[in-house]
Chain A
Amino acid sequence: EGQLVESGGGLVQPGGSLRLSCAASGFTFSSYWMTWVRQAPGKGLEWVANIKTDGSEKYYVDSVKGRFSISRDNAKNSLFLQMDSLRAEDTAVYFCARKRPTYADSWGQGTLVTVSS
């Protein structure tokens, strides 16, 4: 089924940047689309971004377009989320997940991003 481990979260000031990483193991990482989903404190789940197997296609929720960038390194079985111009409303636990055709079947434990001065 695979394992996903996120890292890179922390406290950052509004307008700052952060880069999240997700290390994948136990499956052929390069064969799967990957995704980031976030969850604000006490709130529900929100899809953030998807990336195709080879990184050639990337999609974002409107609220992060132009500020966040998803990428991957298949040689290192790693997924990334570069987050710039961070806002208070970006405060959330960020989960990486393996994307299947219409669902996500394997999730990491998440990493907390707090945007506050």
Chain B
Amino acid sequence: QSALTQPASVSGSPGQSITISCTAPSSDVVGYKYVSWYQQHPGKAPKLMIYEVSNRPSGVPDRFTGSKFGNTASLTISGLQAEDEADYYCCSYRSYSTPWVFGGGTKLTVL
């Protein structure tokens, strides 16, 4: 399975914007088509924030946006709020038989 690389941590002040990157190996660009993002607060279940690169599920604020260029996907959170402080995981879907590879996670700190 290909590994997805995320920064270990990012931080920002309330109201600011931050971007979390998720990079697949350059040899894996063709298969890196379906990217999702999950938010996880300590001791809680992951929550789907973005699916298929840039789609937001119902109920997720439009402050959360996803994008992808080449082998790097990104999650941008604008207008940071205290409740955004959490771990964020990117995920790449490959096929129904070997579906998901997750990134290592990024800890977002709201200063």
Contact = CB atoms under 8 A, between A and B. Distances in A.
9 contacts: A33-B96, A44-B102, A57-B96, A59-B98, A102-B93, A103-B51, A104-B48, A107-B48, A109-B45
Q: For the complex, would chain A's binding face be called helix, strand, loop or mixed by DSSP majority?
A: strand
B102 A102 contact: no
A117 to B, nearest CB: 26
Task: Bin chain B's interface residue count.
Answer: 20 to 34
A103 B52 contact: yes
A71 interface: no
A27 interface: no
A105 B38 CA distance: 10
Interface in B97-111: 97-105
Interface in B77-111: 89, 91, 93, 96-105
Contacts, number: 62
Interface of B: 34, 36, 38, 44-48, 51-52, 57, 89, 91, 93, 96-105
B45 A105 contact: no
A100 interface: yes
Given A44-B89, A45-B38, A45-B89, A105 B48 contact: yes
B86 to A, nearest CB: 13
A44 B106 CA distance: 10
Contact of B100 (A47, A95, A108): A47
Nearest to B57: A105
A102 B73 CA distance: 15
Given A102-B52, A107-B45, A44 B96 contact: no
B51 A59 contact: no
B46 to A, nearest CB: 5
A113 to B, nearest CB: 16
Contact of B97 (A35, A59, A97, A105): A59
